[in-house]
Chain A
């Protein structure tokens, strides 16, 4: 006679009982439905016209209603200029911002994980003061930015040592890392107005470059955080032997470290790309018409006099989603691996 067992107990080690399986699969299937149904509704709405939407819910194309390409035509034939411009802007901005952010961010992360820094606090303050003066001179007094930065760089190199000797208080890698990562706490609303004024005064408002730089900076903390953990998890032997052979830091970084960290880079790139592709608030401030991105275009569709045109809206949203989804499905296997390192160490 076998002892009495609960229905959730496994018949054998490492297996699941029938009841557990039923609970698990029903949970997963219910959630899949909850995730997929809104997307299904979005897709079928894009093939409806006004009457199909207004006369009540129709669920199945060809059975409940006759699908039309009406909305797709409206967006891509009648209004194609606006749509394509916003689409093109979005692609350019998110690709460049991601590239810039991942490049600069992973360089910083690599440096923080390999080189030990002990910058003097006073030197840093001197650097910050010079930078602030440069920015002020360029934005408020309209000094040419090349001249201003040349003067600032010269001042820094001539006086850095002298100023640094005034008082010794050293910072360490951990402080710099924490400072960079903590920037993520900043809500964009806190900094966006001064950024707006800054770009306005140098005449870069409503251009690609303004949005690209802003997005790159906003996402840099994520890049540094994820890539720092990733670089730490890579064994250092290869780099050390390369350095013994006389390779420079930039050479080691390009030839050895970057190829080894493909998974981490893929996950980080995807994450940053999604964030900048979907970003709304900063774009709302920094673009008016020429540099308008897709989220702004979609949000502006609400403003029509006839209420929301659900069918064209659906088309616009679908068109926005497709590239990211395709990209993510291709990079799917990297995402969990790449984030795993960051998550486990973080």
Chain B
């Protein structure tokens, strides 16, 4: 028995993790996919399921829920045409360059999927945002991901770089900057609602002075979106900060001082030595942040309940609302659409940014 245990110990170490992940994330994933193709009706004695094919997806993409998920499409403005066509041309040129180079059918297929997703998103934006139409939850989620991650990355990296210099009170700054990450998102939602209150909040006098006393940020779509982005950034900048600080502190001091001896300016030292050596970590940090940002649900739920209208609703929140109204089929379909978008964008980012550097080095 003991001998057997010893021989199979490697497998026994791995088995619990694999089994748990299979039961609690792979099987639900499959079940969810099945549910996305059914309609579930609750009746007195339980529930009835009926297979409805692509109807749940059809409703989201082309039917009554199109405005909710993708946005309202009426016409495309001139600006929309210009941006859409130039982006299409750029993407096709990028694809053409790949086809001309060393061809590999797996890489080609992957790029084809990336291209399709990019084109769909570009035209979605051209037809909604750039044409003066309202955009749906996919657009809102992408806004949170792109703007939020960019903001967090810039500020977090700047703070980390400042903190990696020889300054006093490093530990104190580090502890202070880390605090927001520990606060529950629910708490952050409420704290920022207090902050933003134009009559009773701490900045009431400032609002009054600017003449925004009667302005409620929760009733203006863009103000609400930006406010949620600020709250989210406040929470997640510490994460970028901690990771980037670790990266900056790992850069060899000797190299930097040698460059300083040779007369390199501070900017040159940053651009030529520090940045290239932290770049791989920066890409990984961005990837992790983006993956988490796609899941955003608690902040919009707490701060605005997705309003005004659907202006701040993320895809996760839309799926949650669908579940709450017992429309399980739609909830699963929406969740799967989110999963598909997340996977395509994150894998493309990983492949084209993170791995591209690795390939170049080899």
A interface, CB within 8 angstroms of B:
6, 8-10, 13-14, 16, 20-21, 24-25, 27-28, 31-32, 34-39, 41-42, 45, 53-54, 56-57, 59, 104-105, 107-108, 110-112, 114-115, 117, 128, 131-132, 135, 176, 180, 183-195, 197-198, 213-214, 216-218, 220, 224, 248-250, 253, 274, 277-278, 280-281, 294-295, 298-299, 302, 308, 310, 313, 317, 320-321, 324-325, 328-329, 332, 335-336, 339-340, 343-344, 346
Q: How far is the CA of A50 from the CA of B197 in the complex (A)?
A: 15
Which residues of A lie under 8 Å from residue B307 when comparing CB positions?
none
Top 3 closest pairs, chain A to chain B, by CB: A115-B10, A194-B28, A111-B13
Which residues of A lie under 8 Å from residue B331 when comparing CB positions?
189, 193
Per-residue CB contact flags for chain B residues 181-222 toward chain A (1 = under 8 Å, else 0) read 111111100111111000111111100000000000000000
**Contact indicator A41/B194 (Cβ below 8 Å):** yes
A254 CB to nearest chain B CB (Å):
12
Which residues, 319 to 362 on B, are CB-close (under 8 Å) to A?
Answer: 319-320, 323, 328, 331-332, 335-336, 338-339, 342-343, 346
Which residues of A lie under 8 Å from residue B203 when comparing CB positions?
57
Residue of A with least CB distance to B180? A35
**Contact indicator A57/B202 (Cβ below 8 Å):** yes
Q: Which of A9, A187, A197 makes the CB contact (< 8 A) with B338?
A: A187
B233 CB to nearest chain A CB (Å):
10
**Contact indicator B17/A335 (Cβ below 8 Å):** no
Per-residue CB contact flags for chain B residues 143-172 toward chain A (1 = under 8 Å, else 0) read 000000000000100110011011100010
Q: CB of B295 within 8 A of chain A?
A: yes
Which residues of B lie under 8 Å from residue A59 when comparing CB positions?
202
Q: CB of B226 within 8 A of chain A?
A: no
Q: How far is the CA of A128 from the CA of B10 in the complex (A)?
A: 19
Q: How far is the CA of A177 from the CA of B184 in the complex (A)?
A: 30
Which residues of B lie under 8 Å from residue A308 when comparing CB positions?
190, 193
Which residues of A lie under 8 Å from residue B178 when comparing CB positions?
328, 332, 335
A279 CB to nearest chain B CB (Å):
9
Which residues of B lie under 8 Å from residue A302 when comparing CB positions?
302
B103 CB to nearest chain A CB (Å):
25
**Contact indicator A313/B17 (Cβ below 8 Å):** no
Q: Which of A35, A336, A343 makes the CB contact (< 8 A) with B284?
A: A343
Q: Which of B183, B242, B266 makes the CB contact (< 8 A) with A336?
A: B242
Q: Which of B20, B35, B343 has the most CB of A within 10 A?
A: B20
Jot down 8 A-B pairs with beta carbons below 8 A, ordered by A.
Answer: A57-B205, A107-B14, A132-B27, A176-B18, A217-B25, A248-B6, A253-B13, A336-B246
Q: How far is the CA of A321 from the CA of B13 in the complex (A)?
A: 35
